[in-house]
Amino acid sequence: MRFIVAVTAGTDDPTRATLGMIAAKVAKDQGHDVTVWLQGEAANIANRNVYDKIVGHNMPAMKDIVEDLVDAGVPLWVCEACGRGRDVTPDNFLATAEYAGMGHYVQAVAEFDRSMSF
């Protein structure tokens, strides 16, 4: 199955951000095709200078989860307006991060098998 996992929390709510990324990792570990959509504060998850400092309450390390997703080649779609507004740019992107627009996200929701939001 193809999953789009939308994460809207980041540095503002590290626990919710971590839960979204865990869901993406579990789906990938189960053999599904996964894309992560990062909007709002979640754009910071794609910043190689920030992601490892996001620590959820009683959660596994965001650093490990994100690095597993990147190592598995999971695309991290960063809302361009959200990323630029938070200085998340190609200069500090993680390896699988790229800008995407709302049109990409809406199309994925329409075409992928499942969507999850956090």
- H/E stretch holding 117: strand 114-117
The domain total for the chain is: 1
pTM of the predicted model, to two decimals? 0.96
| Domain harbouring 109, CATH code | 3.40.1260.10
Q: Could you list the pLDDT tens digit for every one of the 118 residues in the chain?
A: 999 999 999 999 999 999 999 999 999 999 999 999 999 999 999 999 999 999 999 999 999 999 999 999 999 999 999 999 999 999 999 999 999 999 999 999 999 999 999 9
Paired residues of 114 in beta bridges? 3
Domain ranges, residue 104: 2-117
Are the CB atoms for 110 and 103 separated by under 8 Å?
no
Of 72, 76, 71, give the one whose Cα is nearest residue 17: 76
